[in-house]
Structure 1
Amino acid sequence: MLESIPDIFLKISNREFRVLLAIENKMKFYEWVPLEEIANFTNYDLNETGYILSGLLKNKLVHRNVSTYEGYRIYFEAYDLLALNAFVKRGTVNALGDVIGVGKESVVYEATGGIIDRHVAIKFQREGKMSFKQVSLKREHLGERKHLSWLYASRLSAKREHDALTKLYPQVSVPEPIDYNRHAIVMSVVKGQALAYTRVDEPQWYLDEILNQVKKAYRLGIIHGDLSEFNVFINPEGCEIIDWPQYATPAHPNAGELFYRDIDNILAFFRRKYRIKRDIKEVINNIS
């Protein structure tokens, strides 16, 4: 994401947003969207469309290819702006702050939103940062859609995570889902710090609390699928579990393997750091 996204967002015009929307829409059908298709979608003439695109190119919000014809496409910077624009129009987000988290497949910004300027977080999915071949092979939620763009892969990821949070909250200690659009989710700010970077005084209690949340999620028909010490945040009241786009249901063909791996990752961490030993079969039997 561009470092100056708040500044660019304030400067970008409605006509520029219209051109970005045209490219996004037509990327369903083209690897590089022809200039004529953009003009037809926006109802701008070719000269005006070209002028708007030149400004977007200058800000690196679109990419241009002239090898066989003049075509354009957007990447995450423009996609971020389109999602942010939707949130602002809906009143979900009023102001965007600093980056508060960066993962291999996401970037998280702090923000305020709603009529009371509530402190929230915006998570922008980043599945397309890796090779799309890897994405399509490793992500169950893509199914057989191997023709999808990287942007759409991230859009599916955000929808899945929002769906999971909606099913889990508030029975399970997860961030509250507030809104989502394209590849971005607005949610409550996670409390505490990542388990991986914190040393606790009562590790037995925290382990029990984490397993209890996993049990609650399982009873609601959700298996995390990628659980580790990096996506469990702990605080004085307990814990919050984040990063749910790879969730599976107990009916999934690989549910047993995914569930075992989730539990094993957590038990291995507490065994390694706190010398706490639990029998994984007993833990799984207690949960399932």
Structure 2
Amino acid sequence: MLESIPDIFLNTTNREFRVLLAIENSMKFYEWVPKEEIADFTGYNQKETDFLLTRLAANKLVQRSNGAYEGYRIYFEAYDLLALNALVSRDSVNAIGEIIGVGKESKVYEVTSGITGRHAIIKFHREGMMSFKKVRIKREHIEERRHLSWLYASRLAAKREFEVLKLLYPQVSVPEPIDHNRHAIVMSVLKGQQLAHARVDEPGWYLDEILKQVTKAYQLGIIHADMSEFNVFVNPEGCEIIDWPQYVAAAHTNAKELLYRDIENILMFFQRKYRIKRDIQGVINNITYA
């Protein structure tokens, strides 16, 4: 098995990409895509199809069924490759480097973007079934196509995050959105370091800066809905708020509760680490009546 997305990408042929695309498309209709369906989509003969599927399976890009018929489905890494290939084809990415972050619901690599001519990052969403429910896809879609839940969840999360970044940037201090495809987003490099791991000299000033960005987002009709010290980056100029796929509109039924939770998380962090106390209701009033 190849160990990293850059290595896998460089060693995947155009014919193998076509097989992956065939499986992705046909997973809309099959839990396990029949080998004959793959051959029909690609136009390859049985021998060529078998050879390509064997290579892809060896690299852990496709999974083979042990059921009544020979069928296949893609792994997350194959979905990564399909998204990356599309982004490379339109010059949104022209080089990919090392992995720089791994979380429960994402993997992040450093890249360069031909569109901007600058260093950037690519974030591959990794949402699973719980996140799929959280972003409020209709339950019947999950029940009818359980094998697609991770694919739909990750794709929808990326779409939501890209759209809200486009809305917020540059009025709010968030990463600059560059492009997205499937479950992947290309965005500007994050500035500074994670608030959770930073030791800042003027914590009160940084708290004010964070609340200022929350206020600006609220004025644009957006509440983060999952804020903590782990999705705020701090730097000498201020802060940057990341990880927005679970945002809600300010008019959402649960908006007040979600805003309260966001502010409570941030205030509790600053109280714990820096002994700074703020009245939460006063802070929320300042945000909602600004």
TM band (smaller chain): over 0.9
The alignment partner of 1:167 has SS state of helix
Cα separation, 2, equivalents of 1:123 and 1:174: 14
Cα separation, 1, equivalents of 2:117 and 2:286: 42
Partner of 1:50: 50
Partner of 1:287: 287
The alignment partner of 2:107 has SS state of strand
Cα separation, 1, equivalents of 2:100 and 2:78: 20
1:74 shift after superposition: 0.4
1:138 alignment partner AA: K
Are 1:135 and 2:131 matched, yes or no? yes
Are 1:214 and 2:210 matched, yes or no? no
1:115 shift after superposition: 5.7
Partner of 1:101: 101
Deviates more, 1:162-171 or 1:44-53: 44-53
1:2 shift after superposition: 6.2
Are 1:154 and 2:154 matched, yes or no? yes
Percent identity between matched residues is: 72
Cα separation, 2, equivalents of 1:250 and 1:109: 32
| CA RMSD, 1 decimal | 1.4
Listed as ranges, the gaps of 5+ residues in structure 1 are none
Deviates more, 1:44-53 or 1:274-283: 44-53
Q: 1:166·1:177 contact (CA, 8 Å) conserved in 2?
A: yes
TM-score (norm 1): 0.95
TM-score (norm 2): 0.94
Partner of 1:88: 88
Q: 1:2·1:77 contact (CA, 8 Å) conserved in 2?
A: no
Partner of 1:253: 253
Q: 2:223·2:248 contact (CA, 8 Å) conserved in 1?
A: yes
1:191 alignment partner AA: K
Partner of 1:124: 124
Cα separation, 2, equivalents of 1:46 and 1:228: 52
Partner of 1:177: 177
Listed as ranges, the gaps of 5+ residues in structure 2 are none
Partner of 1:67: 67
Partner of 2:9: 9
Q: 2:60·2:75 contact (CA, 8 Å) conserved in 1?
A: no
Cα separation, 2, equivalents of 1:198 and 1:10: 36
Cα separation, 2, equivalents of 1:278 and 1:80: 43
Q: 1:23·1:72 contact (CA, 8 Å) conserved in 2?
A: yes
1:116 shift after superposition: 6.3
Q: 1:75·1:151 contact (CA, 8 Å) conserved in 2?
A: no
Cα separation, 2, equivalents of 1:149 and 1:270: 37
Q: 2:132·2:150 contact (CA, 8 Å) conserved in 1?
A: no
Change (3 A) 1:175 1:116: closer
Cα separation, 2, equivalents of 1:156 and 1:137: 11
1:262 alignment partner AA: D
Q: 1:94·1:117 contact (CA, 8 Å) conserved in 2?
A: no
Cα separation, 1, equivalents of 2:213 and 2:192: 16
